[in-house]
A and B are shown apart, each in its own frame.
Chain A
Amino acid sequence: MKIKKQQNTQAYQVGSLIGPTTLLVTVMFLIPLLNFLRNSFNVFVPGQFMQTAWTLENYHKFLTDPYYLSILGRSFYIAFSATLLALVMGFPIAYFLARTKSKWKSIIIMLIVFPLLVGNIIRDVGWISLFSGTGLINRFLLDIGVVQEPIQLLQTPMAVIIAITNVVLPYMILTLHSVLERIDPALEEAAYDLGASRWTVMKSIIIPLGIPGIMAGTLFVFVLSINAYTTPLVIGGSKVQMMAPALYSQISEVSNWPLGAAMAVILIVFTLLSSTIYLRIIERMSMNVRAAGTEVKG
């Protein structure tokens, strides 16, 4: 009886701790989401808000129109590229951080996190001053005579990719770092001692054991990137449209709530789907690593 009572008290305590959050998530997140889902089946009538209906018209419109599909395709391409870039750039830094014994380590981590303390808009304005026709890069290129007139840098996919990578890189580094840090340095030494080169140690020890971090980091960063709003809007403009700004403009400018809602649902489903497929592939590639995730000492 006493145990039962204790369990009840415990359940009550846990409930009172997670209750408010659960409520908040339900009210603030789930209900609007379901509302969006519902709206996506409605009909858009210009001049009116929308008409209640059960139709797949909005989905049909999106999925058959090359213009809309290109936005989805571009979002994927940009998010994929930014993720890859962040991984390639972040891995060496994360590895260095995981292994350094420098007293500056915490300072370096602060520096890595620092960009996150600067708002997206401010950061993007910075990129504009770099990329624009009269920006630093073009002035430099003109000065040294590589080009005769300013080249288009802003409003190119490349600029958007670079700017998004800049935003997501800290997340990638921190996620990778937390996993790489837990790999016992003695494993590297053991491999090295058995005749492996530095590169082989990286390839056959660090990377396979770092896969959980690579998986978490890339997934996290991909979801952030494909949902990017400010950066594609400011740097990409109308030429490099991505899903989030495009669907918002459907709602705010065209007042086409049903299509905007359908685009939102498509973006969510697409993100979930590509993440799931990605996870499956990685999982299959690294069954052993995941199986060996926990090391037993004794």
Chain B
Amino acid sequence: MAEVVLNHVIKRFGNSLAINDLNLSIDKGELVSFLGPSGCGKTTTLRMIAGFLEPDEGDILIHEENVTRIPANKRDTALVFQNYALFPHMTIFENVAFGLKMRKVSKEETRSRVLEALSMVQLEKFGDRYPRQISGGQQQRVALARALVVNPRLLLLDEPLSNLDAKLRQEMRSEIRQLQQRLGITSIFVTHDQEEALVLSDRIVVLEQGEIRQIGRPQEVYDSPQSHFVADFVGVRNFFNGHFESHAFITNNGIKIFTDMKQKSDFKKIGIRSNMIVVNPNNKEMYINTFKVKVELITYKGTIIELLVLFPTGDSIVVEMPSEQFKQNTFSKGDQIDICWRPDSVLPLSS
């Protein structure tokens, strides 16, 4: 059963259309990410669901109740803010207790629920501290505990990890996911980080200019992005414009790329992931697509080596190869190499 439904939601800011006819349904217990660049409408949508913004048209339903005109403080949602928004003049305990106080929960029950929430995020010993006395990661956990303690029907997270450093971000990522699954709480997670969305989500909603570009499970979105925009956002770096001639794609510069397209199609663009391209393999024929290219730039990136290579036509693409393989197969800038990829690595894209 759908726990959250957005029905033809439209939001304008002045003359500009922020959200254009958004339709979405989220199941109970599901974690859905809104993924997109800044200005794509992901936070606007989240704020409409939280009740801070009212849509100009359309309806928002939570647990089959139309909440479109219900203000944030009367909605059964809890938002975790990007900068945590902990109350600086209250202790950690008071911060977490705030929502319960508003709900007029008794003192004893508040105490036990706050302690439970704090132990859920491993901060039971920090109740007496003030927000400024704990680290960013701990503040993040308090914000999470403060949202979860009121047992909301819907947990909303607005880029909650963007202020943390990379290592902490990964830790918190799995912590949030584990907690969310254990509690079975329906959640919406706003992010501009594709990796975060891929790791965390049951489903990803890719947004651009206030419209949904693609919805799917992380693997679907990653493996078969449908448009240039989505492909670009999930890390595809090589694109060719051209047209299909039966199952082969002819780029505008005349490069012929074989695909596994079965029937005739009119896609005008394809994408190829850098890591699907193989350098100087022993069994070239296996890949079907084989090209001689010139190495233009070699960039060392730890586990991988990134190559910028140039086709005779002047097209350039980025190729990733494992560092280990590069060690056994050395070449340098200006050398000719073979690059190969299989037809099923080619992603047909709408523009």
Q: Is the CB of B102 within 8 A of A186?
A: no
Chain A residues near B78 (CB, 8 Å)?
A: 193-194
Q: Is the CB of A297 within 8 A of B163?
A: yes
Shortest beta-carbon distance, A157 to chain B, in Å? Answer: 37
Q: Is the CB of B131 within 8 A of A295?
A: yes
Taking the complex as formed, is B90 at the interface, i.e. its CB lies under 8 A from any CB of chain A?
yes
Taking the complex as formed, is B252 at the interface, i.e. its CB lies under 8 A from any CB of chain A?
no
Shortest beta-carbon distance, A43 to chain B, in Å? Answer: 55
Taking the complex as formed, is A189 at the interface, i.e. its CB lies under 8 A from any CB of chain B?
yes
Given known contacts A186-B85, A190-B79, A195-B150, A288 and B90 CB-to-CB distance under 8 angstroms: yes
Taking the complex as formed, is B167 at the interface, i.e. its CB lies under 8 A from any CB of chain A?
no
Taking the complex as formed, is A294 at the interface, i.e. its CB lies under 8 A from any CB of chain B?
yes
* Bound: A187/B52 CA distance, A: 13
Chain A residues near B51 (CB, 8 Å)?
A: 193
Q: Is the CB of A193 within 8 A of B136?
A: no
Q: Is the CB of A192 within 8 A of B72?
A: yes
Q: What's the tally of chain A residues with a CB closer than 8 Å to chain B?
A: 27
Shortest beta-carbon distance, A104 to chain B, in Å? Answer: 16
Q: Is the CB of B136 within 8 A of A297?
A: yes
Q: Is the CB of A193 within 8 A of B72?
A: yes
* Bound: A200/B77 CA distance, A: 18
Taking the complex as formed, is B135 at the interface, i.e. its CB lies under 8 A from any CB of chain A?
yes
Given known contacts A295-B131, A297-B136, A193 and B73 CB-to-CB distance under 8 angstroms: yes
* Bound: A298/B131 CA distance, A: 11
User: What's the interface size class on B, roughly?
Assistant: 20 to 34
Q: Is the CB of A208 within 8 A of B81?
A: no
Chain A residues near B291 (CB, 8 Å)?
A: none
Taking the complex as formed, is B301 at the interface, i.e. its CB lies under 8 A from any CB of chain A?
no
Taking the complex as formed, is B240 at the interface, i.e. its CB lies under 8 A from any CB of chain A?
no
Taking the complex as formed, is A289 at the interface, i.e. its CB lies under 8 A from any CB of chain B?
yes
Chain B residues near A196 (CB, 8 Å)?
A: 73, 98, 102
Taking the complex as formed, is A252 at the interface, i.e. its CB lies under 8 A from any CB of chain B?
no
Q: Closest residue of chain B to A190, judged by CB?
A: B85
Taking the complex as formed, is B37 at the interface, i.e. its CB lies under 8 A from any CB of chain A?
no
Given known contacts A292-B130, A294-B132, A295-B132, A193 and B77 CB-to-CB distance under 8 angstroms: yes
Taking the complex as formed, is B126 at the interface, i.e. its CB lies under 8 A from any CB of chain A?
no
* Bound: A192/B133 CA distance, A: 24
Taking the complex as formed, is A184 at the interface, i.e. its CB lies under 8 A from any CB of chain B?
yes
Taking the complex as formed, is A291 at the interface, i.e. its CB lies under 8 A from any CB of chain B?
yes
Q: Is the CB of B83 within 8 A of A186?
A: yes
* Bound: A131/B52 CA distance, A: 47
* Bound: A276/B232 CA distance, A: 63
Interface hits, A175-207 → B, CB 8 Å:
184, 186-187, 189-197, 200, 204-205
* Bound: A294/B89 CA distance, A: 10
* Bound: A181/B89 CA distance, A: 17
Q: Is the CB of B85 within 8 A of A184?
A: yes
Taking the complex as formed, is A209 at the interface, i.e. its CB lies under 8 A from any CB of chain B?
yes
Q: Is the CB of B87 within 8 A of A184?
A: no
The answer, among A189, A209, A296, for a CB contact under 8 Å with B85, is A189
Q: Is the CB of B81 within 8 A of A186?
A: yes
Shortest beta-carbon distance, B251 to chain A, in Å? Answer: 48
Chain B residues near A190 (CB, 8 Å)?
A: 79, 81, 85-87, 146
* Bound: A291/B139 CA distance, A: 17
* Bound: A296/B88 CA distance, A: 9
Shortest beta-carbon distance, A224 to chain B, in Å? Answer: 29
* Bound: A284/B136 CA distance, A: 29
Shortest beta-carbon distance, B52 to chain A, in Å? Answer: 6
Interface string of A267-298 (1 = CB under 8 A from B): 00000000000000000000011011111111
Given known contacts A192-B73, A193-B72, A195-B102, A298 and B135 CB-to-CB distance under 8 angstroms: yes
Taking the complex as formed, is B264 at the interface, i.e. its CB lies under 8 A from any CB of chain A?
no
Shortest beta-carbon distance, B229 to chain A, in Å? Answer: 30
* Bound: A209/B85 CA distance, A: 13
Taking the complex as formed, is B103 at the interface, i.e. its CB lies under 8 A from any CB of chain A?
yes
Taking the complex as formed, is B99 at the interface, i.e. its CB lies under 8 A from any CB of chain A?
yes
Chain A residues near B73 (CB, 8 Å)?
A: 192-197
Q: Is the CB of A189 within 8 A of B132?
A: no
* Bound: A290/B163 CA distance, A: 25
The answer, among B52, B132, B146, for a CB contact under 8 Å with A296, is B132
Q: Which of B51, B102, B136 has the most CB of A within 10 A?
A: B102
Q: Is the CB of B87 within 8 A of A205?
A: yes
* Bound: A284/B168 CA distance, A: 38
Taking the complex as formed, is B50 at the interface, i.e. its CB lies under 8 A from any CB of chain A?
yes
* Bound: A148/B130 CA distance, A: 63
The answer, among A189, A200, A291, for a CB contact under 8 Å with B81, is A189
Given known contacts A184-B83, A193-B77, A194-B150, A292 and B88 CB-to-CB distance under 8 angstroms: yes
Q: Is the CB of A187 within 8 A of B136?
A: no
* Cross-chain pairs A/B with CB under 8 angstroms, 17 sampled: A186-B82, A186-B83, A187-B85, A187-B87, A187-B88, A190-B86, A190-B87, A192-B73, A194-B73, A194-B102, A195-B99, A195-B103, A195-B150, A196-B98, A288-B91, A292-B131, A298-B136
Q: Which 9 A-B pairs have the closest CB atoms?
A: A195-B102, A298-B136, A194-B99, A186-B85, A190-B85, A292-B88, A296-B132, A292-B89, A289-B89
17 A-B pairs besides A194-B73, A194-B102 with CB distance below 8 A are A184-B83, A187-B85, A187-B87, A189-B85, A190-B79, A192-B72, A192-B73, A193-B79, A194-B150, A195-B102, A195-B150, A204-B98, A289-B89, A291-B130, A295-B132, A296-B131, A296-B132
